[in-house]
Amino acid sequence: MSLRNSWLGNIYYNVLQRFILSRIEKKDINPNKITIIGGIIALFVPIGFYFSELLGGLLILISAVCDSLDGQFARKMGGNEKFGAFLDSTVDRLSDFFYLMGLWIVALQTQHKMVLTLLLFIALCLTLLFSYTKARIEGLGGTCNIGFMERAKRVIFILILSVLLFFFNQNTLLLYSMIIYNLLLGFSVYQRILCAKEVLN
């Protein structure tokens, strides 16, 4: 089940609508500007993690909120801007990279830095595969909306991990967290491969 359509997602988007979107609607801003702002904030995530895991997590949170706002704003405007959708997906991949780079900054400070570097490379590869498989299926005329580790869940996973890293031992926590992250994401890629086999045959 997608988080967007869950009760938690409904609460989140209602809060955005009431406290943020209603205010920015009156200003000279459009969904694409919000997308770009979110992408720029993502660039600073590794620097944030260099100083503090909480700061890195806060920057991820702000960037993710921008990512939520641009789509919600675009839907409320009633537009069907294809470039906006393209820009949003492109900036999402950029943000994914810098979120994981932030965790790599933390990994460099642990005794498992080589293993964690490998795990983070695998995470980046699986993240790209997860996004690519859906895009490729849709490019071939199919539809695939399954995959457990959708972007919202990946962002929440990293956000929670950022907070935990601030309070607990980084060596073992980050190591086991990235193993779990990769297993879940690998399973999600497998789900989409099965989906492709079903809808494209």
**Whether the predicted model's global pTM rises above the 0.85 cut:** yes
* Contact (Cβ atoms closer than 8 angstroms) between residue 91 and residue 101: no
DSSP string, 57-120: HHHHHHHHHHHHHHHHHHHHHT---HHHHHHHHHHHHHHHHHHHHHHHHHHTTSTTHHHHHHHH
Residue type, 37: I
Distance in angstroms (rounded) separating the CA atoms of residues 68 and 84? 13
Type and span of the H or E element at 125 = helix 113-139
CATH superfamily membership of 3-199: CDP-alcohol phosphotransferase transmembrane (TM) domain (1.20.120.1760)
Kindly give the confidence (pLDDT) of every residue in the chain, 201 residues in length, as a single tens digit, with 9 standing for 90 and above.
566 666 666 776 677 766 676 666 666 678 888 899 999 999 999 999 999 999 999 999 999 998 888 777 766 665 557 888 889 999 999 999 999 999 999 999 999 999 999 999 999 999 999 999 999 999 999 998 889 999 999 999 999 999 999 998 778 999 999 999 999 999 999 999 999 999 987
92 is catalytic: yes
Catalytic, out of 67, 70, 88, 92: 92
